[in-house]
Chains A and B, each alone.
Chain A
């Protein structure tokens, strides 16, 4: 069974530029998550989708971050414009059901973003 796919694996941009990350969850997984992991810290949830609807985006900086999952399968996370503090690894995860329901989240390899 294929795992969670993410691209690109690495991205270097200058501040104020835009960037987009792509995630394809495990087939059949209804729930998709985007996490931000700053160096030396644990992952922090940015947004959770259930199919193509947003369940939780309380920690998403909506002035510059946006995410969509239009067809309820793959998802795109965008940052526009990027700031230096956005340098982090962006992890995508998926699960069959929602979190807190005794359900395992499977993580992708992440996209390492460096903002110069």
Chain B
């Protein structure tokens, strides 16, 4: 069965600090996709990144970076030099090629000025 675990329910840091959001997944498939979404207070889910299981290269996009490690079934998300606008709930998600997307329970990130 597929499962996504985001053990950190809430994180609070001071602006400009770096912060890492953890994501651990379970799947029996060898082909799958991993995602991160941001949900600001407005409620809309904003797509951040998609990774397929055959691409373990880490990715950097501005202040955001993602560390995909199949050996530990983890897909962690790091925000460098955090800003108040980064405050939101962040969801990690998993999709096997022939079934639905499963979301984790989310991590609420608060950036204090």
Instruction: Point out residues on A near B: beta carbons under 8 Å.
Output: 40-45, 48, 56, 58-59, 89, 91, 93, 99-102, 104-110, 112
Contacts and interface: CB of A to CB of B under 8 A. Distances in A.
Interface residues of B, number: 25
Interface of B: 4, 33, 37, 42-47, 50, 52, 91, 93, 95-106
B43 A104 contact: no
Given A41-B105, A42-B105, A105-B101, A99 B95 contact: yes
Is chain B's interface secondary structure helix, strand, loop, or mixed overall?
A: strand
Nearest to B106: A42
Contacts, number: 56
A56 B106 CA distance: 24
Contacts of B50: 102, 104
Is chain A's interface secondary structure helix, strand, loop, or mixed overall?
A: loop
Given A44-B103, A99-B101, A100-B98, 13 more contacts: A42-B91, A42-B104, A43-B103, A59-B100, A91-B45, A99-B100, A100-B33, A100-B97, A101-B97, A105-B47, A107-B37, A109-B43, A110-B43
